[in-house]
Amino acid sequence: MKDLDNLETIKDMDKSNMRGLLSSLPRQYRDACNLAEKFNLSGSFRQVKNIVISGMGGSAIGGDLIRSLFSEECPVPIVVNRNYSVPKFLDADTLFIAVSYSGDTEETISAFESAVERGAKVLSISSGGKLKDLSAGAGVAYFPIPEKGIQPRCAFGYLFVPMVVFLSRLGFIHDYISELDEAIELLYESAESFSPRVPVRDNYAKHLAMVLYNSLPVIYTGQSYFDVVAMRWKGQINENSKMMAFYNVIPEMNHNEIVGWGIPKDITRRCVVVMLTHDDEFLKIKRRMDVTKSLIAEEEAQVITVRAKGSSPLAKALYLIYLGDFVSYYLAILKGVDPTPVERISLLKARLKESDK
């Protein structure tokens, strides 16, 4: 196990400087907000009956968080589409948002083309690529991400914040300004406290990484707001830490997955369950979490509770996402792997191209 307080070790393992990208994320959020506020939005986007956000992987998680945070207040349904095709209901009354960091994600390109053919009101977001060219050719609104050449999961601010700004400006959700300002300030503070310069004894992200090291992480949370946060933790541990991880939500997992904790104890002893929660948790969900923790602990799995900071749901969610990003980063260092490359994804894409020949 590597020493998380040895800055030279961290630098040697982190060959692509993900630590720099993580530290700059609060600035990315602020920049994305400023750019989105200046973007020219079509008034026709207001006259829609549904919103479809289409993307994959790190480019889709922002749409998931939009759905999770704002679906209860948005007057029209918000649907996240992860597919080559689009839902049958999609038509001229749909606001279709295509999100692809690279602009070359084949599933998103296919869905974009279908949305254009059906006459949807289309908005696209990317750092360039084919999506930029297709948007220009179709005459649809295109929001350019200014930072290129990074992993999509490291561009979350540029992929998520513009959609919050756009939906707010169009009147689908409430005024976001104060909540986003709070969240960004909280992230600036967290960037300091999670920094590699801060030793393990004072660094919550490093501490959690050490708890999760050499384990099978299982992330649980309540359905409201944080279901997507748990998904992000799982995905970041997969991609950054090169580890298996799982997630689920309460109360749904109480109706099925809880039974699976009867698996042999030589497996459950290797599991560490992370309960993501906050101080304003719905009482019935809190009770379910408490009982779930006790049942899992009986199977000799370690259970830890991680509480969100912040006052608004938006700030709480973004804080936990940022914490999870750093935890997965430090897990990679502990394992002695570079957190940035995703070689298996590249290999999968290469083999898919070979099979198309």
Give the residue numbers annotated as catalytic, written as ranges.
239, 255, 349
Question: How is residue 262 annotated by DSSP?
Answer: T
**Closest C-alpha to 67, from 57, 51, 78:** 78
Instruction: State how far Cα 18 lies from the chain centre.
Output: 16
Structure tokens given for 32: 């994305």
26/10 Cα distance (integer angstroms): 21
Taking the C-alpha atoms of residue 195 and residue 204, their distance in angstroms, rounded to an integer, is 10
User: What would the two tokens of residue 335 be?
Assistant: 């394992």
Q: How far apart are CA 198 and CA 176, in angstroms?
A: 32
Distance CA 141, CA 124 (A): 6
In one-letter notation, the amino acid at residue 46 is R
Alpha carbons 253 and 231: distance in angstroms, whole number:
14
CA distance 154 to 27: 12
Contact 146, 165 (CB under 8 A): no
Quote the CA–CA distance of 231 and 245 in Å, as a whole number.
10
Residues 246/240, Cβ–Cβ less than 8 Å: no
